[in-house]
């Protein structure tokens, strides 16, 4: 059967494509959601942080203002007393003197533009990188005290929060994408499951199980496929049954007159007198030939109709072939069973008996009889060779001799003609056994007809 295959032209199967599509969709959705969430959260948190910072800065500035207007204020005390939140620190200019609570947090860390703006007498704020970290710097002029209040609010905690949020969102997006892929894979499998039923059904049909029917899937898009499949299987089954019945009817119809005819000839043969003897002899040989022709035709038509079964059974190789030759009254032909031949073999006794009979008959007719029958084989294969020392088969006829009704150029030594189907049937019987038949030249003269059959599984 041609494999149309589960894989599409593009290389990816439907299921893989479904999986990828779902994964991509999940990725895009979850990523945009994450980005949106992150940016909203970020701006909200920043805004909140800034308004808190500003409020704190203004409160602190007012307190500083009050403090500075007092006499002889102790600025370091003031700085230490001011409330600080989450790492913020204060820088104070009073009378051109700069104060800070710790080294490294003095004037130098403040952006010049902020100092300038504050000097101009307006409160200002600015985002800047201070001490290597992003921070918000707020400057509030205190004109009454000839001072300026600066407070720096580092963002590092906020950054930490945002980083945590970012990582969480990234993880969520990843998980969502993986889930998307799983859902995609599962969904495509669900979608493909009815198709899998079709595949199995078609394979069953191809294997010869013509009673195979598909149960219609619940999906109304797929149901018509199942229906047409079943109609096709039904038509095929009916046709085969019709052909098999026809073959069976023909067999019966032909065998009945043949039976009466051959029985009558036998009775006649026993009772024939001198005068009628030659006529009875002609009658006997012709009826026998006619009978064989009909039987061969019926046999080959059963092959054509596909109405053949292999009835394999275990036989003892030696006993089987000895019996075949005995049945053919060819006990005098040497039977050579080689050492490598399997001692027992599973085969269809009737068919293999016909194979040997037809080859022996062929040798009788064209080559003065078989000179040996050889059996060898190995590993589940049995090889049967029938040799003769006749004129051999011309090289251009080695294939043609196995064709139906092939008329050989060789001269038949037998007064009885063959049916012209013997070797064709040998091929069919061998093929049914998973084997083949051919002929090769025998050295120095003659022909070797070789049939190989495979042992069917138990």
Q: List the one residue from 33, 165, 192, 308 that touches another protein (CB under 8 A).
A: 308
Q: Which of residues 274-293 bind another protein (CB under 8 A)?
A: 291
Contact 226, 198 (CB under 8 A): yes
Residues binding another protein: number (CB under 8 A):
38
Identify the residue among 311, 412, 413, 445 touching another protein (CB under 8 A).
311
Helices (H), 207-329: 223-271, 277-304, 317-327
**Contact map string, positions 190 to 229, toward another protein, x by CB under 8 A:** ----------------------------------------
CB of 285 to another protein, least distance (A): 15
- Note whether 315 and 349 are within 8 A (CB): yes
* Interface with another protein, residue 324, by CB under 8 A: yes
Stretch that binds another protein, among 4-12, 137-145, 303-311, 408-416 (CB under 8 A): 303-311
The pair phi, psi for residue 155, each rounded to 5°, is: -95, 0
Cis peptide before 9 (omega within 30 of 0): no
Measured CA to CA, the distance from residue 400 to residue 408 in angstroms comes to: 9
**Binds another protein (CB under 8 A): choice among 42, 255, 383, 406:** 255
Decide: is 319 part of the binding site for another protein (CB under 8 A): yes
- When asked if residue 411 is in the footprint of another protein (CB under 8 A), the reply is no
Applying CB under 8 A, does 263 fall inside the site for another protein? yes
Nearer to another protein (CB atom), residue 350 or residue 417: 350
Piece of the chain touching another protein by CB under 8 A; list 115-123, 198-206, 261-269, 420-428? 261-269
Compare residues 148 and 375 and give the one whose CB is closer to another protein: 375
Question: Is the bond leading into 199 cis (omega within 30 degrees of zero)?
Answer: no
Q: Which residues contact 281 (CB under 8 A, 6 or more apart)?
A: none
Strand 97-100 relative to strand 89-94, pairing: antiparallel
> Binding pattern to another protein, positions 340-379, x when CB under 8 A?
----x-x--xx--x--------------------------
- Give the β-pairing of 312-316 and 370-378: unpaired
User: 149: how many CB neighbours lie within 10 A of its CB?
Assistant: 27
Q: Give the binding range for another protein (CB under 8 A) out of 13-21, 63-71, 266-274, 365-373.
A: 266-274
User: For another protein, which is the closer residue by CB, 33 or 322?
Assistant: 322
Q: Which of 300, 315, 381, 398 binds another protein (CB under 8 A)?
A: 315
Interacting residue with another protein among 227, 259, 276, 413 (CB under 8 A): 259
- Of the pair 202, 298, the CB lying nearest another protein is at 298
Q: Decide whether 157 or 304 has the Cβ nearer to another protein.
A: 304
User: Does 431 engage in binding with another protein (CB under 8 A)?
Assistant: no
Buried b or exposed e, range 399-419, using 16+ CB within 10 angstroms:
eebbeeeeebebeeeeeeebb
Task: Tell me how far apart the alpha carbons of residues 254 and 154 are, in angstroms, rounded to a whole number.
Answer: 108
The 8-class DSSP code of residue 444 comes to S
Tell me 107's DSSP state.
Answer: G
Burial (Cβ within 10 Å: 0-12, 13-18, ≥19) of residue 429? buried
Using DSSP, state whether 255 is helix, strand or coil: helix
Strand partners, 439: 449
Considering only 62, 277, 326, 417, the residue that binds another protein (CB under 8 A) is: 326
- Which window, 72-80, 214-222, 265-273, 449-457, contacts another protein (CB under 8 A)? 265-273
CA 31 to chain centre: 33
The C-alpha atoms of residue 446 and residue 370 are separated, in whole angstroms, by 10
Token pair, residue 338, equals: 């080689």
Given the rule CB under 8 A, which of 174-182, 204-212, 232-240, 315-323 is the region that contacts another protein? 315-323
Question: 5: buried, middle or exposed (CB in 10 Å: 19+, 13-18, 0-12)?
Answer: exposed
For the CB of residue 333, give the shortest distance to another protein in the complex, in Å. 17
- Specify the DSSP class assigned to residue 417: P
Which of 59, 122, 260, 431 touches another protein by CB under 8 A? 260
Q: Between 284 and 406, whose beta carbon lies closer to another protein?
A: 284
Joined together, the tokens standing for residue 63 give 């307190």
Interface with another protein by CB under 8 A: which range of 87-95, 104-112, 192-200, 260-268?
Answer: 260-268
Q: Which of 401, 404, 382, 378 is nearest to 391 (CA)?
A: 401
- Taking the least distance from each CB to another protein, the nearer of 87 and 327 is 327
Task: Catalog residues that contact another protein under the rule CB under 8 A.
Answer: 248, 251-252, 255-264, 266-267, 270, 291, 302, 308-309, 311, 313-316, 319-320, 322-324, 326-327, 344, 346, 349-350, 353, 458
């Amino acid at each position: 059967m041609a494999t149309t295959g589960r894989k599409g032209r593009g290389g990816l199967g439907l299921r893989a494509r479904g999986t990828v599509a779902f994964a991509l969709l999940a990725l895009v959705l979850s990523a945009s959601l994450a980005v949106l969430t992150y940016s909203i959260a970020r701006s909200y948190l920043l805004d909140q942080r800034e308004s808190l910072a500003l409020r704190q800065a203004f409160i602190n500035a007012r307190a500083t203002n009050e403090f500075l207007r007092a006499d002889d204020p102790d600025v370091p005390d003031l700085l230490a007393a001011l409330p600080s939140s989450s790492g913020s620190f204060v820088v104070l200019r009073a009378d051109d003197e700069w104060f800070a609570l710790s080294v490294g947090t003095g004037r130098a860390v403040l952006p010049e533009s902020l100092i300038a703006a504050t000097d101009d007498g307006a409160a200002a704020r600015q985002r800047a990188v201070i001490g290597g970290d992003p921070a918000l710097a707020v400057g509030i002029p205190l004109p009454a005290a000839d001072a300026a209040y600066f407070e720096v609010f580092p963002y590092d905690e906020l950054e930490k929060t945002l980083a945590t949020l970012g990582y969480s969102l990234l993880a969520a997006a990843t998980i969502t994408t993986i889930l998307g892929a799983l859902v995609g894979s599962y969904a495509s499998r669900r979608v493909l499951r009815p198709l899998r039923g079709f595949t199995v059904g078609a394979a069953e049909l191809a294997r010869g199980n013509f009673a195979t029917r598909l149960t219609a899937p619940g999906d109304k898009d797929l149901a018509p496929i199942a229906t047409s499949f079943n109609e096709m299987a039904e038509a095929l089954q009916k046709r085969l049954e019709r052909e098999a019945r026809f073959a069976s009817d023909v067999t019966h119809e032909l065998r009945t007159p043949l039976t009466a005819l051959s029985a009558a000839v036998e009775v006649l043969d026993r009772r024939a007198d001198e005068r009628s003897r030659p006529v009875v002899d002609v009658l006997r040989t012709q009826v026998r030939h006619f009978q064989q022709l009909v039987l061969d035709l019926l046999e080959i038509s059963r092959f054509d109709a596909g109405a053949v079964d292999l009835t394999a059974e275990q036989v003892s190789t030696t006993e089987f072939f000895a019996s075949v030759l005995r049945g053919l009254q060819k006990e005098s032909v040497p039977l050579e069973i080689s050492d490598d031949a399997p001692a027992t073999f599973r085969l269809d006794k009737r068919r293999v008996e016909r194979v040997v009979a037809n080859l022996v008959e062929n040798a009788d007719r064209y080559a003065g009889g078989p000179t040996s029958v050889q059996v060898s084989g190995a590993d589940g294969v049995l090889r049967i060779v029938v040799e003769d020392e006749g004129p051999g088969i011309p090289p251009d006829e080695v294939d043609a001799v196995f064709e139906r009704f092939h008329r050989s150029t060789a001269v038949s030594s037998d007064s009885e003609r063959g049916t012209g189907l013997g070797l064709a049937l040998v091929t069919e019987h061998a093929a049914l056994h998973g084997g083949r038949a051919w002929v090769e030249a025998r050295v120095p003269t003659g022909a070797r007809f070789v049939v190989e059959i495979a042992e069917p599984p138990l």
